[in-house]
Amino acid sequence: MGDAANQGDAQGSEAMVLVIFIAVLALIGAVFLIYAVQSTPTQKEIEPIPPSRHFVGLFESNRTVSLVDAQTKGRWNLLDRACHGDCKTLGEAQDFRDATIYNDVLDALVEWAAESQEKLEALVSHIKNNELRGNKRLAQRMIENWRAAPGRRSTIEMIHIAALSDDAESYAQAVDEVMDLWRRGYLVKLSSDELVDLFVSQFWVIAPESRRGGGGYALKRRLLGLRRELASATPVR
């Protein structure tokens, strides 16, 4: 019986060791599993791959040059057509959203219109009918043309084009020349009240940025002074 007892104790010890060994293996496996889970980056922790930049290789500069060339050709095409009296070029130049191109095209049209009164009238009519802007050169051309035949209609048109030039200095010159003739009795078909209405209403046609600043402020003061003068004066008969 003693041998049987010893044998049972030995088997129990072996079973105990086996259980402990299995438990240790399980514990080691659990530790490695936890470490593996913690060391694996989550979706948020994974650094995203930056999007690839648009790249066209060595031909990128060529594409830019081609665009510039196209714009230059378009500009010269407008100028060439304007020199031949194509008034539609002014609207096309406006689409460029470039004041320099617009002024260059308008200057070319003014040069073309200098050849005859009919051409100047056609240009002015096109600008008014299509709600386009003028410039300083056109305003000066209109003032010179008005001097040759000052009248009610030509005065109103000249003041309007001077306002469309968006140049306070040109508008002030146009107003002063009208006032000079009116004081001397050459514009009897325009009353003092009509002149006040004309000068003030066309002042607001000038672009807002041109009404501000030193030139715009001086023009406002000039118009206020003329308003007081016209309220109490009559032209020489």
Whether the CB-CB separation of 175 and 199 falls below 8 Å is answered with yes
Please give the Cα distance from 182 to 185 (Å, whole number). 5
Encode the chain (237 residues) as per-residue pLDDT tens digits. 555 445 555 555 666 666 676 766 666 766 556 655 565 555 444 445 445 444 444 455 555 555 556 678 889 999 999 999 999 999 999 999 999 999 999 999 999 999 999 999 999 999 999 999 999 999 999 999 999 999 999 999 999 999 999 999 999 999 999 999 999 999 999 999 999 999 999 999 999 999 998 899 999 999 999 999 999 976 555
3-state secondary structure 178-219: HHHHHHCCCCCCCCHHHHHHHHHHHHCCCCHHHHCHHHHHHH
User: Considering all CA atoms of the chain, what is the largest pairwise distance in Å, rounded to the nearest integer?
Assistant: 158
Q: For 63-68, which contacts have Cβ atoms below 8 Å and span 24 or more sequence positions?
A: none
Backbone φ, ψ for residue 101 (5° rounding): -65, -45
Interior CA angle at 144 toward 95 and 138, to 5°?
A: 5
